[in-house]
Amino acid sequence: MVTVSVESHLPLLKVLANETRLRLIGLVSAEEQSVGNLARSLGLTEPTISHHLAKLSEAGLIEMRASGTTHYYRLNPKSLQSMGKTLFAQTRAAAPKPAEGEDGWEARVLQSFIVEGRVTKIPEGLRKRMVVLQWLANQFKDGRFYKEREVNEIIKRFHPDFATIRREFIGHGLMERESGTYWKTRKPHK
């Protein structure tokens, strides 16, 4: 699922995984730039800039316009938008959905608070909150130990307030913690 979308976009992601190329994208997104101007702005040589521009051009992220012997580069916004939409659409399609066959009331609660695999709001009522927290806790594997950073990253996939949710997991007994290591528990506190 997500693996397929990442693999299909791996060449683009590799091109973007370079600080110089990201800085070049930033410069050409503001206005059309020549290789010489880009080299001066970044304090690099023109051949180095040309190498990185060629990689960005191959990926379809920038466009080149020749004027005499000078080449000018600009961002290709349509290509960037289309790649972004494709990548994020595939990620959303692969997002976990509430489990089938759950109690009807729980399924309705999950449908109310989870849209496209993300928690839109933490319910205020304890009973509904526990349904959503249990669903979030089920995104963690039984028997696996997680560092706090990993717990935060997993929670952030579903809701931005990872600190509150992490505390709720501990407070309601959905997870336990010791020396910065977290693990999912079998039974939550009632």
| Interior angle at CA 90, CA 157 and CA 135, nearest 5 | 35
Amino acid at the residue 170: I
Q: Distance between CA 131 and CA 60 in Å, rounded?
A: 45
Residue 2: what pLDDT?
Answer: 44
Residue 4: what pLDDT?
Answer: 47
CA quadruple 79, 80, 81, 83: dihedral, nearest 10: 80
Tell me if the pTM is above 0.85. no
The one-digit pLDDT tens for each residue of the chain (190 residues) are 444 455 667 777 888 888 899 899 889 888 899 999 999 988 999 999 999 999 998 888 899 999 999 999 998 877 767 666 666 665 555 555 555 544 688 888 998 899 888 999 999 999 999 999 999 999 999 889 999 999 999 999 999 999 999 999 999 999 999 998 999 987 665 5
Residue 185: what pLDDT?
Answer: 87
| 72 contacts 32 by C-beta, under 8 angstroms | yes
- Structure-block tokens of residue 43: 């304090």
Residue 1: what pLDDT?
Answer: 41
| 133 contacts 172 by C-beta, under 8 angstroms | yes
Query: Which domains are assigned to the chain?
Result: 2-79 (1.10.10.10), 97-184 (no CATH)
The DSSP annotation for 18-83 comes to -HHHHHHHHHHHHS-EEHHHHHHHHT--HHHHHHHHHHHHHTTSEEEEEETTEEEEEE-HHHHHHH
